[in-house]
Structure 1
Amino acid sequence: MAENKGVSKLMIIIIILLVLLIAAGVFLGYMFMTKNQNATPKPKPEKTMAMDEFVVNLADEDIRVYIKAKIFLAYTDTKIETELKDKMPQIRDLVITTIRLKKSTEFDGIKLENIRKELIGKINSKLTSGQITNVYFYDIIIQ
């Protein structure tokens, strides 16, 4: 009987160890799977391409007003670099034409954001190998 007690205690210890080992494996597997599901992909770094400086008359009435600005086109997909360079004259013309229709009061605060979105949409409609992600205004002077 003493041998049966020793064997049954040993069996209980083995069963407990097996249960703990299985539980640890399940826990580690769950953690590994949820970590991979919740991992967010790293955003691609944004690159910019400078456009030549603009000096454009604005659409203000009864007064001659012009804007001088430098604009940068932002993108994350490097496939469009060549297309941007090749189409820069068309893009520049599109930007000048768009800005020329604006009044000086449209370059304040939220209204500037609307111009930015309008330019992004118009420029992206001309691109085939990718899209720009933003338009940055740099050194805006209105006189």
Structure 2
Amino acid sequence: MCSEKEKVKWKNKTEKKGGNKIKFIAIGLVALIIVGAGGYFGYSKFAKDKGTQKTAAPAAVQTAQTTTQAKTTQNQSYLEQIVSEKNIGLDECLVNLADEDGKRYVKTKIFVGYDKNSKLETELTEKKPLIRDAVIAVLRSKKAAEITPKNMDSLKMELIQKINPLLKKGQINNVYFSDLLVQ
């Protein structure tokens, strides 16, 4: 049937195929061990980082709340002390809020207060569209949860800081809300 030479060739081929399978399995095991070790190292490193962040976050939040409360108290005392001699009303504003669902809005009527200054009064009248645009931009950036009675003073201060750079003949010193409806 087969000569001795053919038997030897066939035997060598099967041994080579078997050797290739062993090499393939060995390489696969080494790769699996490396991937497993890397996964364990990465998991343990990131799990420790998450634990550290969880404990550090409340301290940062607490510090931010304390700072916000201090600023609100300063704003409150500042705005309570300032009683404007004159004021000018802006037209009613109806503005969509920045809530995720996009269905919330605020409707308000705002007056800006200032000291007696005829030049500022004419400038405020002339720049009413610019001032309304600034008010709308600030309100549009807010969420409904941010427009609460305890946040009103910081909202007023933000409006003052946004409006005053637009004026050249004087500065406003207070903002008054005559109507405020959040839906």
Fold-level similarity (TM above 0.5) = yes
Given the alignment, which residue of 113, 132, 136 partners 2:176? 136
> Which structure is larger by alpha-carbon Rg, 1 or 2?
2
Q: Does 1:48 align with 2:95?
A: no
Normalization by structure 2: what TM-score? 0.52
Give the strand-richer structure, 1 or 2: 1
Give the helix-richer structure, 1 or 2: 2
Q: How many residues align?
A: 101
Task: String of CA shifts for 1:98-130, please: whole Å, max 9, x gaps.
Answer: 100001111112311111001101111110100
Distance 1:142 1:110, change over 3 A: same
Confirm or deny: 8 A CA contact 2:84 2:174 kept in the other structure. no
Q: Which residue of 2 aligns with 1:91?
A: 131
State how far apart, in whole Å, the 1-side matches of 2:83 and 2:96 are. 37
Superposed counterparts of 1:1-143, under 5 Å: 46-78=85-117, 79-143=119-183
Confirm or deny: 8 A CA contact 2:160 2:172 kept in the other structure. yes
Q: Which runs of 4+ in 1 moved over 3 A?
A: none
Q: Return the structure number with greater relative CO, CA threshold 8 A, min gap 6.
A: 1
Confirm or deny: 8 A CA contact 1:77 1:130 kept in the other structure. no
**Alignment-mate amino acid for residue 106 of structure 1:** E
Normalization by structure 1: what TM-score? 0.66
Structure 1: give runs of 5+ residues left out of the alignment.
1-42
Q: Which SS does the other structure have where 2:110 is aligned?
A: strand
